[in-house]
């Protein structure tokens, strides 16, 4: 076949013909070739987890063995790797219907369209059916490409190009179309909430609701009220009946319900969540009946639910439901190569909020950030940049502006606070902040959110000279953590 004929045939469509019977396969291949299609003869079904080899628009199965192989294989093949399948069985219609009907399950119908070519059909009818299947296949591929592009755009909110962040993006794209609950876990300070939002946006965009439930605030007294809804005693402006306030499950209908910080839910609250998730139903006081849940469940946690279950602090059944699909957000310490891009992004973010010019990150500033142990993950970096931006008016984020904050002894060390009085703790906080601000009283008062006169009075009581007096311009140093 010359190049022009191949090009014309490929445009019309590529058809895989599968059968162990070489004569039967040759007969059908000849028939399809005469209709103008490019034909790929195969002795067995070829569906792989990666790209389909050989490539084809539709697949035609000719015998019972090929159909059986397809039914077994199709369940383990991703939806985007499937192509329309048509049956052209050589056996009688009665045998065909007896074999095909039990296999036409709901999952198969949604994963790939099925149709049957009959021997008595005219060539025009066969060609029309093949053309419809090919058109469907090409539209499906185009749709999958657009969805992949949409997922990629949404995941760009994850700043960085390290291997860890690329793996996270790939994992997000894997779970976007899953209907099972998804658990997003990461250390405290990591962007688990951001990942949950990206999963929702990748599937629903802004067309469906995203409702977050803070599990740490749920109690056995208010969980039914929060999740299922309640009637308020206040009457509406349009009727004398009590006003119905929909619960968060009803508000999330058609979209996503995020169980935020699910590891902080108490055991009684976990029991209620388990009952709802296990049955897929909730009781609605509005209709006094049980309703089906119509939302996707995403939960976030900063602690391993398996570890909590082993310590009898989390119900095992609930953990098994939430752990059906898991995404682990990498720590900032595991992707230090992303610090430059992430810091610049946060500098722009802070400058937009505060209406200032973004600082420029210098090389020595970047090296200082890379050497730090980010126990508070991305949130610690965000807080650091916000504080430095407030107290330092310089145009650059360099080592000199970072070290007073990033190298100072942390007041979060609870062991160092044991035995101290409240006045001693207050003095330590004020002196530490005063030193970090380089003796600038205005910046110190702003950081502590107190009046300038109050700060000056506190400093005088600690033995500091009055403002403008002798030694008032002496330099202040900060004790570095060992």
CATH hierarchy code of domain 159-330: 3.40.50.300
pTM above 0.75, yes or no: no
User: Which DSSP category does 35 fall into?
Assistant: T
The domain 334-461 having CATH identifier 1.10.8.60: the answer here is yes
| pLDDT for residue 14 is more than 90 | no
Note the pLDDT tens digit of each residue in 308-350.
999 999 999 999 999 999 999 999 999 999 999 999 999 998 8
For residue 464, report the phi and psi dihedrals to the nearest 5 degrees: -80, 145
pLDDT top residue among 192 and 420:
192
DSSP string, 339-384: HHHHHHHHHHHHHHHHT-PPPEEPHHHHHHHHHS--TTHHHHHHHH
How far CA 273 is from CA of 200, 226, 329, 422, in Å, comes to: 21, 12, 24, 41
How much helix, strand and coil, in percent to the nearest 5, is found in the chain?
A: 50, 15, 35
Instruction: Give the mean model confidence (pLDDT) for residues 51-75.
Output: 70
Question: Which of 126-130, 147-151, 439-443 is predicted with the least confidence, judged by mean pLDDT?
Answer: 147-151
pLDDT confidence tier of residue 297, bands split at 50, 70 and 90: very high
pLDDT digits (tens, 9 = 90+) for 72-126: 776 666 666 677 778 776 544 444 444 444 444 434 443 445 567 776 778 888 8
Categorize the per-residue pLDDT at 214 as very low, low, confident or very high, splitting at 50, 70 and 90.
very high
Would you place residue 416 in the very low, low, confident or very high pLDDT band (cuts 50, 70, 90)?
A: low
The per-residue pLDDT for range 159-175, each reduced to its tens digit, is 888 999 989 988 988 88
CA distance 220 to 266: 8
CATH 2.60.40.1930 applies to domain 3-146: no
pLDDT of residue 304: 92
The alpha-carbon radius of gyration of the chain (Å, integer) is: 32
pLDDT tens digit string along 382-414?
A: 988 988 887 777 889 998 888 877 754 444 444
**pLDDT reading at 185 higher than 90:** yes
> Listing from the earlier edge strand, what are the strands of the sheet with 114-116?
38-42, 14-18, 58-61, 85-87, 114-116
DSSP string computed for 152-165? HHHHTTS---SHHH
Structure tokens at 177: 């179309």
* Distance in angstroms (rounded) separating the CA atoms of residues 197 and 291: 26
pLDDT score recorded for residue 469:
46
Domain pair 3-146 / 159-330, same fold: yes
Give the contacts of 43 (CB within 8 A, at least 6 positions apart): 18, 19, 20, 22, 25
The per-residue pLDDT for 50 is 42
Contact 147, 100 (CB under 8 A): no
Average pLDDT, the chain: 78
Residue count (the chain): 482
Q: List the chain domain ranges.
A: 3-146, 159-330, 334-461
Is residue 130 within 8 A of residue 170, CB to CB? The reply is: no
């Amino acid at each position: 076949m010359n190049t022009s004929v191949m090009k014309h045939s490929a445009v019309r469509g590529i058809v895989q013909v599968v059968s162990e019977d070489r004569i039967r396969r040759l007969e059908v291949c000849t028939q399809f070739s005469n209709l103008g299609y490019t034909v790929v003869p195969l002795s067995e079904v070829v569906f792989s987890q990666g790209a389909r080899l050989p490539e084809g628009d539709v697949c035609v199965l000719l015998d019972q063995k090929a159909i059986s192989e397809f039914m077994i294989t199709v369940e383990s093949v991703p939806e985007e790797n499937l192509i329309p399948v048509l049956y052209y069985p050589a056996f009688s219609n009665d045998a065909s219907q007896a074999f095909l009907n039990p296999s036409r399950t709901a999952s198969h119908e949604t994963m790939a369209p099925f149709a049957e070519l009959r021997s008595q059909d005219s060539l025009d009818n066969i060609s029309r059916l093949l053309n419809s299947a090919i058109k469907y296949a090409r539209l499906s591929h185009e749709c999958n490409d657009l969805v992949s592009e949409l997922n990629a755009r949404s995941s760009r909110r994850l700043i960085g190009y390290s291997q860890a962040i690329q793996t996270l993006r790939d994992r997000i794209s894997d779970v976007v179309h899953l209907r099972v609950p998804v658990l997003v876990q990461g250390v405290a300070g990591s962007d688990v909430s951001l990942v949950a939002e990206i999963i929702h946006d990748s599937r629903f965009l802004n067309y469906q609701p995203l409702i977050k439930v803070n599990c740490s605030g749920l109690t056995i007294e208010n969980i039914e009220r929060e999740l299922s809804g309640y009637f308020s005693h206040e009457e509406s402006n349009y009727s004398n009946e009590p006003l119905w306030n929909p619960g968060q499950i009803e508000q999330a209908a058609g979209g996503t319900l995020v169980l935020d910080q699910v590891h902080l839910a108490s055991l009684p609250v976990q029991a209620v969540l388990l009952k709802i998730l296990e049955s897929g139903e909730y009781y609605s006081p509005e209709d006094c009946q049980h309703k089906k849940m119509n939302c996707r469940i995403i939960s976030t946690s900063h602690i391993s639910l398996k570890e909590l279950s082993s310590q009898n602090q989390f119900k095992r059944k609930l953990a098994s439901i939430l752990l059906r699909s898991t995404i682990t957000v990498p720590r900032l310490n595991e992707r230090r190569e992303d610090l430059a891009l992430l810091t610049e992004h946060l500098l722009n973010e802070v400058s937009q909020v505060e209406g200032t010019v973004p600082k420029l990150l210098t090389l020595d500033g970047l090296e200082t950030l890379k050497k730090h142990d980010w126990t508070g993950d991305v949130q610690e970096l965000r807080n650091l940049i916000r504080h430095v931006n407030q107290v330092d008016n310089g145009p650059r984020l360099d080592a000199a502006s970072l070290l007073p904050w990033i190298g100072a002894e942390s007041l979060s060390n609870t062991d160092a606070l044991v035995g101290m009085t409240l006045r001693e703790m207050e003095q330590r906080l004020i002196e530490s902040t005063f030193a970090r601000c380089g003796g600038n009283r205005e910046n110190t008062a702003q950081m502590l959110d107190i009046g300038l006169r109050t700060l000056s009075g506190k400093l005088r009581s600690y033995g500091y000279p009055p403002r403008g007096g002798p030694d008032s311009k002496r330099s202040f140093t900060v004790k570095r953590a060992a």
